[in-house]
Structure 1
Amino acid sequence: MDKYSIFVYIFIFGYCRSREMFEQDRIRRDITAYLLNENRYDATIVPELDEDFPTNVTVQILIRNMHSINEVAMEYSVGIYLRMWWRDTRLDYREITNTTYLQKLELDTRQIDKVWQPNIYFDNEKQAFVHKVTTTNRLMHIYRDGTVVYSIRLSLTMSCTMSLHYYPFDAQTCPLVIQSFCYTTDNIRLQWHGTNPVKISKLQMPQYALLEDETETSSYDLEYEETGTFSTLEVELSLSRKIGYYVLQVFTPCIFLVVLSWVSFWVDPDAVPARVSLGVLCVLTMTTQSAVVHQSLPPVSYVKAIDVWMFVCLFFVFASLLEFACVNVILQKKVDSEEKKTFEASTKTQREKALEVDRISMYLFPSTFIVFAFIFFMVSGLA
């Protein structure tokens, strides 16, 4: 075959291929225009309105990111893809064309509003928006049998009632509730996707870990006395708090402060300014540390695990200061007895008694604190 014949063959093949693609595009445009013609299709009417059964809407959620989990406001923010499937027999185009290549119609974002939608909303949503960069992030495909696939990208701020009894060793369960705002169970039924109702991308959150294995879904009917019964879907997201930050920023500094307060037991009892200054400094620092920790928490009425920890640490620091007060009182009794020239017939002087109190404290305080810390972390960690 010469070069001229090859050129002619390529030209003919390209021409035929371009005509075929043009014909496919024309057929796709014609079918779409026919299906969405306002004279035959009303997007305000439920697909099975004339039938005795509701339209089944299958729902799937893809969680892309999760952030801003706020204990004070009792809320969390999440970015999702909401995907839905339903069948609208009015959009069945199998009898219109017998072309096998045209398995689905991909609608432009401006055409999506011409198709009926189940009017989904989130019951516990506080704030939400649809992403619009560079255009509104929505997708809709219509398959040959009238099955509609709809996907939309959303960012949501959801309310979540949190229990902080074991904070910061707590685990939270935050719900995400889906309903149709205007269609009762007479018109639509919501159901979770059979195999993957909730898909979670690999997330990296600074304070929490999202436990995919413990994510639970449920479906039920919710009845409102004034408006009727609505099909409802709910997913409970299980969040486990990471304690690395609190170990470094809360527990370790508190332990250091408590240990620092014990240094006074090794300081000579006569060095009053040194022991008083050390005790007062530890108490004030411990109080400041407690205030900083509680700034990021809501003023709940019950006792939290962190409250127990901070109180006991403050108690140990304050007890160290009180221990020196007792030692100083014992030393003061020695001075009074010397002035009165009344010595008791005892094997120990008052100074030796004071030093004995310090020696007992050297072992009593650390051992008691270690026992408390062991019990605290065992109980909180297993809760």
Structure 2
Amino acid sequence: MLIKKELKSQPQYENCSVIIEIPLLEYQTLAVDTKNLRLVSRLQAILQWRDPEMSWNTSLYQYEEVSVPVDSVWTPELHVTNAITITTQPSSKDLEVLSDGRMRHEIILNTEVNCEVNLFNYPFAADACPVAIHIWNSKKCGGEMRLDEVKMKDGAHGDWQTEDVHLDQKGGNKKFILVELRIRQNNPFITLMLPSILIIMADVVSVALPLEGGERNSFKVTLVLSFTMFLIILNGELPGDSQCSPVIRIHFCVCLITLVFSMLVSMVLTRVAKEGGIIFCCFSKRFQKENAGMKDEGKNNTLYLYSTLPKQKNCCTYNIKLEI
């Protein structure tokens, strides 16, 4: 009988509005995209409303409650207004109808919202992300939502920890669920901070290497190349720009400048240790000494060539002198 009524439109009251009660809403964080600042969550809500046309006389039909297919009656639509993507599905193909016209339905929403988390202290950041829930409502007709309780379910996922969720009743028919997030700093510290600190420590200890032979310069060049490759690999994992740029970017910039400056100083010290001074020219000190010796020899412009002819009978020895 209820299915044949085909009541697929909103119940009509005198004020053209229906009250939608949500006694319980369960929130679960599925993932947090730190790079793009996106929050992926799952909402499971219990919806209750009353439709007088769905009631029946228990003296004729001795049933206090029945179940009917979801697609055969009207059900309220729950929206997340700040969602980028959202999918809504019923948790069951049937819903519950009581004899006085009260109806009970349960839906599941998988949503992705833009979450502008303050990542200045990354990887030690914490902030709250709002999820706005709304039921369609115009000036006179529509639904009036009454949300009683929000419960968190399974708050640990990936590098983020959902510490708490609470309801913000401000905003009239639009309700805000504030999701308090905190980064679990163990993994970001091990993968980001610790390698950079160890590379800087290795650069400091490299002063124990001798300047002769180029071992120290080769080691420092290897450290700079390793740190550069480290930044290229982790570029996809570093957080995006939010309200404040993450301070970890400044940390990596200072580390890279320190390594390059240390490498340049080591090259200069190698030159000083080998040549005894800093001479920025194209010729080495040895070449300069050889050039100076050639100039000293060139001051005498007389070239002496001596030749001794073999002695022969009735001959003398001749000395030949050639001046230039």
For the criterion TM > 0.5, the same-fold answer is: yes
2:5 is equivalent to residue 44 of structure 1: no
**Greater RCO, CA 8 A, separation 6+:** 2
Corresponding residue for 2:292?
A: none
Q: Is the 8 A contact 1:56 1:189 kept in 2?
A: yes
Cα deviation, residue 186, structure 1? 4.2
Matches within 5 A, 1:123-272: 123-130=81-88, 137-181=92-136, 183-184=138-139, 186-193=141-148, 197-212=149-164, 214-221=165-172, 231-271=173-213
Moved more, 327-336 or 240-249: 327-336
Q: Is the 8 A contact 1:137 1:153 kept in 2?
A: no
Corresponding residue for 1:285?
A: 226
- Structure holding more strand per residue: 2
Cα deviation, residue 235, structure 1? 0.8
Equivalent residues, number: 281
Q: Which runs of 5+ in 2 are unaligned?
A: 280-284, 289-324
TM-score (norm. length: structure 1): 0.63
Cα deviation, residue 101, structure 1? 8.1
Cα deviation, residue 260, structure 1? 0.9
Percent pairwise identity: 16
Structure 2 CA distance for partners of 1:44 and 1:335, relative to 1, 3 Å: closer
SS of equivalent to 1:300: coil
Q: Is the 8 A contact 2:37 2:240 kept in 1?
A: no
Amino acid at match of 2:128: T
Q: List per-residue Cα deviations over 1:203-248 (Å, max 9, x = no partner).
A: 4312111112x53433424xxxxxxxxx212212111111111222
SS of equivalent to 1:113: helix
Cα deviation, residue 47, structure 1? 3.7
Cα deviation, residue 125, structure 1? 2.4
Work out the CA distance in 2 between the residues paired with 1:332 and 1:118. Answer: 84
Q: Is the 8 A contact 2:67 2:96 kept in 1?
A: yes
Work out the CA distance in 2 between the residues paired with 1:175 and 1:189. Answer: 20
Structure 2 CA distance for partners of 1:268 and 1:115, relative to 1, 3 Å: same
- Structure holding more helix per residue: 1
Amino acid at match of 1:105: V
Work out the CA distance in 2 between the residues paired with 1:266 and 1:274. Answer: 11
2:50 is equivalent to residue 56 of structure 1: no
CA RMSD in angstroms, aligned pairs only: 3.3
Work out the CA distance in 2 between the residues paired with 1:183 and 1:116. Answer: 18
Amino acid at match of 2:54: L
Q: Which runs of 5+ in 1 are unaligned?
A: 1-32, 222-230, 341-383
Cα deviation, residue 173, structure 1? 2.6
Structure 2 CA distance for partners of 1:322 and 1:274, relative to 1, 3 Å: same
Q: List per-residue Cα deviations over 1:32-60 (Å, max 9, x = no partner).
A: x2x4542xx74314342xx2373221223
Structure 2 CA distance for partners of 1:148 and 1:330, relative to 1, 3 Å: same
2:310 is equivalent to residue 310 of structure 1: no
Cα deviation, residue 275, structure 1? 0.8
Structure 2 CA distance for partners of 1:336 and 1:320, relative to 1, 3 Å: closer
TM-score (norm. length: structure 2): 0.74
SS of equivalent to 2:156: coil
Corresponding residue for 1:356?
A: none
Corresponding residue for 1:377?
A: none
Amino acid at match of 2:72: K
Cα deviation, residue 282, structure 1? 0.9
Work out the CA distance in 1 between the residues paired with 2:197 and 2:136. Answer: 53
Give the one of 38, 59, 70 matched to 1:75.
38
